Structure 1
Amino acid sequence: MRASRAVRGFFVGALLGALSASAWAAPPPQAQREIEQLIAALGASRCEFQRNGTWYSATDAQAHLQRKYDYLRKRDLVDTAEQFIERAGTQSSMSGKAYSVRCPGKAAVPSAQWLGGRLSALRHATP
């Protein structure tokens, strides 16, 4: 009887752990929309994204920022679009090197500036 209680307790604990690990913490709905729109805007742009000294296409940048956003969400580390920009869109978490965005016919700018500009435009476009 004692062993079966221990086994049952183990399985209940494992099940609760699996459920909590699979549940993603989500930012508030407006922040989620803004972050998703920022990631999509980069992907739809014809800009290039510099990461660790290499320039990547907009679609590669979009995929990269989506992975970083997913990582932050899993750990409940992003509640606002500003936090997303700061924690995912500013610099490499591995090397610490700043990201840049270079659009056709324009000079490269820090990615935080580019993303911040897009966020401002999104907010002003929304009534």
Structure 2
Amino acid sequence: MATMVAAGEARPAVQLEITSLLSRLETSGCRFNRNGVWHTASEAKSHLLTKLHYIEDRTTLVSTEQFIELAGSKSSFSGKPYLVQCGNAAAQPSAVWLTAQLHSLRAASKRP
């Protein structure tokens, strides 16, 4: 598990990545499954923002991967993994989808 530090907002670079990642989710048109119920991508973003604020009240995120692990991958209540389904594609664990989107964001930021 990633190292945790004192509570507070993440570094600006991590904040920017999380914001960009959640924006991608919101505009993806995908569905988000939480505890067996499908939600819109906009609802998913709202939920993950709530979890982000909860986490930031307790620790400081040191990476976007840590955000995915602690907030974006499973229910804190039930422990069930979140799922993302885009179009007719099979649902996949949200951690896989979010990590792929993060890699895409990072690759895009390195392009000239």
**Is TM-score (shorter-chain normalized) higher than 0.5?**
yes
Give the whole-Å Cα distance in 2 for the aligned partners of 1:55 and 1:113: 17
- Letter in structure 2 aligned against 1:69: L
What is the percentage of aligned positions where both structures have the same residue?
Answer: 44
Q: Provide TM-score, normalisation by structure 1.
A: 0.79
2:16 to 8, 29, 33: 33
Alignment of 1:24-103 (within 5 A): 25-103=8-86
Q: Provide TM-score, normalisation by structure 2.
A: 0.89
Q: Which runs of 5+ in 1 are unaligned?
A: 1-23
Which of 1 and 2 has higher RCO (CA within 8 Å, sep 6+)? 2
Task: Provide the secondary structure at the position in 1 that maps to 2:22.
Answer: helix
Give the whole-Å Cα distance in 1 for the aligned partners of 2:100 and 2:79: 22
Task: Provide the secondary structure at the position in 2 that maps to 1:126.
Answer: helix
- Identify the residue that residue 113 of structure 1 maps to in structure 2: 96
Between the two proteins, the alignment pairs up a number of residues equal to 104
Larger helix proportion, structure 1 or 2?
Answer: 1
Q: Which runs of 5+ in 2 are unaligned?
A: 1-6
- Letter in structure 2 aligned against 1:107: A
Coordinate RMSD, CA, aligned = 1.0
- Identify the residue that residue 4 of structure 2 maps to in structure 1: none
